[in-house]
């Protein structure tokens, strides 16, 4: 880690969280203190983080682990002594096809949405890198506006856009000649429900991804690009041989984050469910935990699902995490 240097993003990448650049990006100089153990100082530096995390998350996470091994329903919440049931909650869950349906749905939704997000985000970043100054500024401001919109507000607008009766989408479709779209309800069928959900999540996530990748792109030295152009490299070749290798690590971490975030997507799905659709056919893991816990008051099972969900996320992202950790060392 200390053997690499990340250039702060250029002004154009304002408000972009820079993704830690890869070792290949710019191994220009060894920072003086690289490899130092630093004695007790680093431990003092991480202490506030540890204290905060343990204080805020220790009890809730511990409670969740313990509860997942208990029979814990509303009665227990209202004072009845909870009973230890060992792994019963887990056994019941993994033998229940409902859980697997939810898991498959969540994984598919997460992977599709995450890949589409990164693909679209990457394309937008490349676009941003290849247009003139003012067009880039317009693009950036649009992305920032979308990013700044509060989730509740954004969902309200989107739900309205896909509304079966007064929605803009159906109105547009009818106007371009799709008569059947009049009064079509996009949220009623699980498949189109998830398409809508995915579009909304992609719309919300692309600004972060595009601006991050763009920050990565700007780190490619202008001299290298010009030299390659003199050598006759076309646009595609430059993308393939100069940009791609340098941006690949940024892409992979952005993808990792998207996978993690999309697997636990909750608010967007919940608000869409409230607007329409059959909740039990559109549940993803987040809403499933919510429904079991808050809805049915079965906190033991809900906690067990949460733990399984964590394991699933780790499993899905394991390869990435390992390669990231390898870079760390």
Residues in region 203-242 near another protein by CB under 8 A: 203, 206-207, 229, 235
CB 143 within 8 A of CB 150: no
Rounded-to-integer distance, Cα 256 and Cα 260, Å: 6
| Shortest Å, Cβ 110 to another protein | 12
Is residue 35 at the binding interface for another protein, with CB under 8 A as the rule? yes
Residues 65-94 within binding reach of another protein (CB under 8 A): 67, 73-75, 77-80
CB 254 within 8 A of CB 121: yes
CB 279 within 8 A of CB 299: no
Site string for another protein, 38-67 (x = CB under 8 A): x--xxx-xx-xx--xx-xxx-xxx-xx--x
Residues 298-317 within binding reach of another protein (CB under 8 A): 298-299, 302-303, 305-306, 309-310, 313-314, 317
Among 91, 108, 131, 244, binds another protein (CB under 8 A): 131
Rounded-to-integer distance, Cα 232 and Cα 225, Å: 11
Among 23, 274, 318, 323, binds another protein (CB under 8 A): 274
Torsion sign (Cα): 160, 164, 168, 169: positive
Q: Which is nearer to another protein, 86 or 230 (CB)?
A: 230
What single DSSP character describes residue 54?
I
| Shortest Å, Cβ 139 to another protein | 5
CB 235 within 8 A of CB 123: no
Among 21, 181, 201, 220, binds another protein (CB under 8 A): 21
> Residue by residue, what is the 3-state secondary structure of 163-207?
CCCCCHHHHHHHHCCCHHHCCCCCCCCHHHHHHHHHHHHHHHHHH
| Shortest Å, Cβ 112 to another protein | 19
For strands 70-71 and 83-84, give the pairing: antiparallel
Stretch in the footprint of another protein (CB under 8 A) among 18-26, 83-91, 111-119, 240-248:
18-26
Residues 179-198 within binding reach of another protein (CB under 8 A): 182-183, 185, 187-188
How many residues bind another protein (CB under 8 A)? The answer is 137
| Shortest Å, Cβ 244 to another protein | 19
**Which regions of 208-276 does DSSP assign to beta strands (E)?**
none
């Amino acid at each position: 880690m200390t053997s690499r240097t990340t250039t702060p993003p250029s002004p154009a990448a304002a408000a972009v969280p820079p993704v830690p650049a890869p070792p290949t990006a710019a191994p220009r100089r060894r920072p003086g203190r690289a490899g130092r153990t630093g004695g007790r100082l680093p431990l003092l530096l991480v202490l506030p983080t540890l204290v905060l995390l343990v204080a805020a998350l220790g009890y809730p996470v511990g409670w969740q682990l313990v509860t997942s091994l208990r029979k814990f329903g509303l009665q227990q919440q209202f004072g009845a002594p909870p009973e230890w049931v060992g792994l019963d909650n887990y056994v019941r869950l993994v033998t229940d096809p409902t859980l697997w349906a939810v898991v498959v749905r969540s994984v598919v939704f997460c992977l599709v949405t995450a890949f589409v997000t990164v693909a679209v985000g990457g394309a937008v970043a490349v676009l941003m890198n290849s247009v003139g100054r003012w067009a880039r500024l317009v693009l950036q401001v649009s992305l920032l506006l979308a990013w700044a919109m509060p989730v509740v507000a954004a969902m309200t607008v989107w739900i309205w856009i896909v509304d079966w009766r007064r929605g803009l989408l159906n109105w547009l479709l009818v106007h371009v000649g799709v008569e059947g779209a009049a009064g079509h309800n996009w949220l009623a069928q699980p498949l189109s429900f998830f398409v809508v959900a995915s579009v909304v999540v992609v719309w919300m996530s692309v600004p972060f991804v595009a601006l991050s990748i763009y920050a990565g792109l700007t780190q490619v030295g202008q001299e290298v690009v010009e030299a390659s152009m003199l050598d006759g490299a076309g646009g595609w070749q430059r993308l393939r041989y100069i940009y791609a290798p340098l941006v690949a690590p940024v892409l992979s971490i952005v993808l990792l984050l998207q996978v993690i975030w999309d697997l636990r997507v909750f608010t967007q799905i919940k608000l869409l469910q409230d607007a329409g659709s059959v909740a039990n056919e559109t549940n993803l893991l987040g809403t499933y935990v919510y429904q079991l816990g808050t809805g049915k008051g079965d906190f033991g099972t809900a906690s067990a699902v949460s733990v399984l969900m964590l394991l699933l996320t780790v499993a899905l992202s394991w390869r990435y995490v390992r390669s990231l950790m390898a870079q760390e060392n």
